[in-house]
Amino acid sequence: MDVYLVQHGEAVSEEQNPERPLSDEGRKVVMKVGKYVAALGGGFVGLPPSQVWHSGKLRAEQTAEILARELAPNVTPVPHRGMKPKDDPAAICEELRAMRDQPGAVLLVGHLPHLARLAGLLLAGEADKTVVEFVNAGVVKLRPAERGWTLAGYITPDCVR
Protein backbone atom coordinates (compact mmCIF):
# COMPACT_ATOMS: atom_id res chain seq x y z
CA MET A 1 0.00 0.00 0.00
CA ASP A 2 1.32 3.40 -0.95
CA VAL A 3 1.10 6.16 1.65
CA TYR A 4 0.70 9.84 0.85
CA LEU A 5 1.55 12.36 3.57
CA VAL A 6 0.25 15.89 3.13
CA GLN A 7 0.66 18.93 5.33
CA HIS A 8 -2.59 20.90 5.21
CA GLY A 9 -2.83 23.94 2.96
CA GLU A 10 -2.11 27.47 4.16
CA ALA A 11 -4.61 28.50 6.85
CA VAL A 12 -5.74 31.86 8.15
CA SER A 13 -4.17 33.05 11.40
CA GLU A 14 -5.69 32.21 14.75
CA GLU A 15 -6.37 35.92 15.25
CA GLN A 16 -8.46 35.99 12.06
CA ASN A 17 -10.38 32.83 12.95
CA PRO A 18 -9.62 30.50 15.90
CA GLU A 19 -10.87 27.53 13.82
CA ARG A 20 -8.07 28.25 11.30
CA PRO A 21 -9.80 27.31 8.01
CA LEU A 22 -7.82 27.36 4.79
CA SER A 23 -7.12 30.81 3.41
CA ASP A 24 -8.36 31.62 -0.09
CA GLU A 25 -4.79 31.18 -1.33
CA GLY A 26 -4.48 27.92 0.59
CA ARG A 27 -7.59 26.54 -1.12
CA LYS A 28 -6.30 27.57 -4.55
CA VAL A 29 -2.91 25.97 -3.98
CA VAL A 30 -4.36 22.70 -2.64
CA MET A 31 -6.71 22.51 -5.62
CA LYS A 32 -3.86 23.24 -8.05
CA VAL A 33 -1.67 20.55 -6.47
CA GLY A 34 -4.56 18.05 -6.45
CA LYS A 35 -5.31 18.62 -10.13
CA TYR A 36 -1.62 18.32 -11.00
CA VAL A 37 -1.14 15.09 -9.06
CA ALA A 38 -4.35 13.63 -10.56
CA ALA A 39 -3.11 14.50 -14.07
CA LEU A 40 0.11 12.58 -13.40
CA GLY A 41 -2.01 9.48 -12.77
CA GLY A 42 0.00 6.27 -12.70
CA GLY A 43 3.20 8.27 -13.02
CA PHE A 44 2.81 9.40 -9.41
CA VAL A 45 -0.43 8.20 -7.93
CA GLY A 46 -0.56 4.58 -9.04
CA LEU A 47 -3.78 3.34 -7.48
CA PRO A 48 -6.03 6.12 -6.18
CA PRO A 49 -6.33 6.35 -2.40
CA SER A 50 -8.90 3.95 -1.01
CA GLN A 51 -8.79 5.84 2.28
CA VAL A 52 -8.31 9.52 3.12
CA TRP A 53 -7.58 10.36 6.76
CA HIS A 54 -7.25 13.76 8.38
CA SER A 55 -6.60 15.05 11.88
CA GLY A 56 -10.08 16.43 12.47
CA LYS A 57 -8.83 20.01 12.51
CA LEU A 58 -10.68 22.20 10.02
CA ARG A 59 -7.69 23.09 7.82
CA ALA A 60 -6.73 19.41 7.48
CA GLU A 61 -10.34 18.38 6.81
CA GLN A 62 -10.71 21.03 4.09
CA THR A 63 -7.41 19.99 2.49
CA ALA A 64 -8.45 16.32 2.58
CA GLU A 65 -11.81 17.12 0.96
CA ILE A 66 -10.20 19.03 -1.90
CA LEU A 67 -7.59 16.33 -2.54
CA ALA A 68 -10.14 13.52 -2.31
CA ARG A 69 -12.32 15.25 -4.94
CA GLU A 70 -9.34 15.30 -7.30
CA LEU A 71 -7.69 11.95 -6.51
CA ALA A 72 -10.43 9.69 -5.17
CA PRO A 73 -13.90 11.15 -5.81
CA ASN A 74 -15.65 8.07 -4.39
CA VAL A 75 -13.79 8.24 -1.07
CA THR A 76 -15.05 10.29 1.86
CA PRO A 77 -12.29 11.76 4.03
CA VAL A 78 -12.57 10.76 7.68
CA PRO A 79 -11.02 12.08 10.88
CA HIS A 80 -8.49 9.64 12.29
CA ARG A 81 -7.20 9.46 15.84
CA GLY A 82 -3.56 10.09 16.56
CA MET A 83 -2.97 12.72 13.86
CA LYS A 84 -3.05 15.97 15.84
CA PRO A 85 0.10 18.15 15.65
CA LYS A 86 1.65 16.91 18.90
CA ASP A 87 0.36 13.31 18.88
CA ASP A 88 2.89 10.51 19.10
CA PRO A 89 3.20 9.09 15.56
CA ALA A 90 3.94 5.55 16.79
CA ALA A 91 0.31 4.37 16.65
CA ILE A 92 -0.20 5.60 13.07
CA CYS A 93 3.16 4.10 12.11
CA GLU A 94 2.09 0.70 13.43
CA GLU A 95 -1.27 0.96 11.69
CA LEU A 96 0.42 1.73 8.37
CA ARG A 97 2.89 -1.11 8.84
CA ALA A 98 -0.01 -3.51 9.38
CA MET A 99 -1.58 -2.29 6.11
CA ARG A 100 1.58 -2.20 4.00
CA ASP A 101 0.93 -5.41 2.04
CA GLN A 102 -2.63 -4.47 1.12
CA PRO A 103 -3.39 -3.11 -2.36
CA GLY A 104 -4.30 0.53 -2.80
CA ALA A 105 -3.19 3.67 -1.08
CA VAL A 106 -3.99 5.82 1.91
CA LEU A 107 -3.71 9.61 2.00
CA LEU A 108 -3.06 11.28 5.37
CA VAL A 109 -3.57 15.02 5.80
CA GLY A 110 -2.10 16.45 8.96
CA HIS A 111 0.24 18.88 10.63
CA LEU A 112 3.75 19.48 11.78
CA PRO A 113 5.47 18.24 13.82
CA HIS A 114 3.39 15.04 13.63
CA LEU A 115 3.92 14.41 9.90
CA ALA A 116 7.66 15.02 10.10
CA ARG A 117 7.94 12.65 13.05
CA LEU A 118 5.82 10.02 11.26
CA ALA A 119 8.01 10.27 8.15
CA GLY A 120 11.10 9.89 10.35
CA LEU A 121 9.70 6.71 11.88
CA LEU A 122 8.64 5.22 8.57
CA LEU A 123 11.76 6.10 6.58
CA ALA A 124 14.54 6.09 9.18
CA GLY A 125 13.09 4.26 12.16
CA GLU A 126 13.43 7.37 14.35
CA ALA A 127 10.79 10.03 14.89
CA ASP A 128 13.40 12.71 15.56
CA LYS A 129 15.20 12.20 12.22
CA THR A 130 14.33 14.87 9.68
CA VAL A 131 13.90 13.03 6.40
CA VAL A 132 11.43 15.34 4.63
CA GLU A 133 11.03 19.12 4.75
CA PHE A 134 7.24 19.38 4.58
CA VAL A 135 5.54 22.40 3.02
CA ASN A 136 1.88 23.37 2.99
CA ALA A 137 -0.02 21.34 0.36
CA GLY A 138 3.02 19.24 -0.56
CA VAL A 139 2.33 15.55 -1.30
CA VAL A 140 4.94 13.03 -0.12
CA LYS A 141 4.63 9.52 -1.54
CA LEU A 142 5.99 6.56 0.41
CA ARG A 143 6.07 3.03 -0.94
CA PRO A 144 6.72 -0.22 0.93
CA ALA A 145 10.28 -1.45 0.52
CA GLU A 146 11.97 -4.70 1.45
CA ARG A 147 12.55 -3.25 4.91
CA GLY A 148 10.22 -0.47 5.92
CA TRP A 149 9.35 2.28 3.46
CA THR A 150 11.05 4.31 0.78
CA LEU A 151 10.46 7.84 -0.46
CA ALA A 152 8.87 7.39 -3.89
CA GLY A 153 8.15 11.01 -4.74
CA TYR A 154 7.42 14.50 -3.48
CA ILE A 155 5.29 17.10 -5.23
CA THR A 156 5.41 20.59 -3.75
CA PRO A 157 3.35 23.58 -4.89
CA ASP A 158 6.55 24.99 -6.44
CA CYS A 159 6.64 21.96 -8.79
CA VAL A 160 3.17 22.70 -10.15
CA ARG A 161 2.83 24.84 -13.25
Q: Which carries the bigger pLDDT value, residue 146 or residue 51?
A: 51
pLDDT on residue 116: 98
Q: Given this model, what pLDDT does residue 50 score?
A: 93
Looking up residue 34, the CATH number of its domain turns out to be: 3.40.50.1240
Is 35 inside any structural domain?
A: yes
Query: Residue 38: CA atoms inside 13 Å, Cβ hemisphere, count?
Result: 14
Is 153 within a domain? no
Mean pLDDT of 18-33: 98
3-7: average pLDDT = 97
Check residue 142 and give its pLDDT: 95
In this prediction, residues 102-118 reach a mean pLDDT of 96
pLDDT band of 48, cuts 50, 70, 90: confident
Query: Which of 56, 141, 142, 127 has its CA nearest to residue 88?
Result: 127
Does some domain include residue 28? yes
Domain presence at residue 156: no
What's the domain range around 12? Answer: 2-140
CB atoms within 10 A of CB 160: 15
- Overall number of domains in the chain: 1
Query: Would strands 105-110 and 139-144 be described as parallel, antiparallel, or unpaired?
Result: unpaired
Who contacts 104 (Cβ-Cβ below 8 Å, separation ≥6)?
Answer: 1, 2, 47, 49, 50, 51
Examine residue 155 and state whether it is found in any structural domain, yes or no.
no
Q: Is there a domain that residue 50 lies in? A: yes
